[in-house]
Chain A
Amino acid sequence: SAVISQKPSRDICQRGTSLTIQCQVDSQVTMMFWYRQQPGQSLTLIATANQGSEATYESGFVIDKFPISRPNLTFSTLTVSNMSPEDSSIYLCSVGGQGGGYNEQFFGPGTRLTVL
């Protein structure tokens, strides 16, 4: 298993600003993912963070709003840009399990974002 940490654990931000969330893994992993989870709701995949290339975004999510960096195999950042109250959510990163697959994922503790 992998140990994943996220920073910050929570934040309260003003409308129109941006927040960068960091995800650190204790081992090198091939696949890293970013999810959004609104309180009491299920998880929605935002994008797959690819090391050495641009992230792969799911339908409804775009790079201008959620730029992602993946400088190496243990670290990734997700930026929530030009925030609005609708962006208030929990943002989670995860990594693929053994063999690099996406089925057995290990999740970070999440970052709780509130936009005023």
Chain B
Amino acid sequence: LAKTTQPISMDSYEGQEVNITCSHNNIATNDYITWYQQFPSQGPRFIIQGYKTKVTNEVASLFIPADRKSSTLSLPRVSLSDTAVYYCLVAIPNNAGNMLTFGGGTRLMVKP
């Protein structure tokens, strides 16, 4: 059974690098892996997406190994405002096609 698994929570301190990994043992071969950030009482906000290897934008990096069975979101030098829940989103194949599936979310707490 295909699953998408993330750590439930992580703690960090301001200025540190944070790496959050999502395990997805069976994802669609032709779809991106996407990460979102969600603050309380708001909808998720797109952070980054990638297909394989490494992608970097102004806020994060995304590392995807060749087998695409996992992905790691890297947040450089986090600040208090990065305290949020982070979700990976992948497409999981099923009998009806590909099903968009969010991971369970990782609650990141950044401390001063």
- Residues of A bordering B, CB below 8 Å: 4, 33, 41-45, 58-59, 92, 94, 97, 101-110
For B31, list chain A residues within 8 Å (CB).
103
Name which residue of chain B comes closest to A104, CB basis. B46
Q: Is the interface of B mostly helix, strand, loop or mixed?
A: strand
For B32, list chain A residues within 8 Å (CB).
101, 103
For B49, list chain A residues within 8 Å (CB).
103-104
Is the beta-carbon distance between A42 and B87 smaller than 8 angstroms?
yes
Name which residue of chain B comes closest to A97, CB basis. B46
For chain B, give the interface size range. 20 to 34
Max chain B Cβ within 10 angstroms of own Cβ: one of A41, A92, A103: A103
A104 to B103, CA, bound (A): 16
Any chain A CB within 8 A of the CB of B94?
A: yes
A59 to B101, CA, bound (A): 12
Is the beta-carbon distance between B99 and A103 smaller than 8 angstroms?
no
Instruction: Say which one of B12-20, B36-44, B59-67, B71-79 lies at the interface with A.
Output: B36-44
Q: A42-B104, A59-B99, A108-B43 are in contact. List 9 more A-B contacts (CB 8 A).
A: A41-B104, A103-B31, A103-B49, A104-B46, A105-B36, A106-B46, A109-B43, A110-B41, A110-B43
Q: Can you list 7 A-B pairs, Cβ within 8 angstroms, ordered by A? A: A41-B104, A59-B94, A103-B89, A104-B34, A106-B46, A108-B43, A110-B42
A59 to B100, CA, bound (A): 11
For B100, list chain A residues within 8 Å (CB).
33, 45, 102
Is the beta-carbon distance between B103 and A42 smaller than 8 angstroms?
yes
Is the beta-carbon distance between B43 and A92 smaller than 8 angstroms?
yes
For A101, list chain B residues within 8 Å (CB).
32
Is the beta-carbon distance between B43 and A94 smaller than 8 angstroms?
yes
A103 to B99, CA, bound (A): 12
Is the beta-carbon distance between B99 and A58 smaller than 8 angstroms?
yes
Name which residue of chain A comes closest to B103, CB basis. A42
For A94, list chain B residues within 8 Å (CB).
43
Is the beta-carbon distance between A107 and B104 smaller than 8 angstroms?
no
Least Cβ–Cβ distance between B43 and chain A, in angstroms: 3
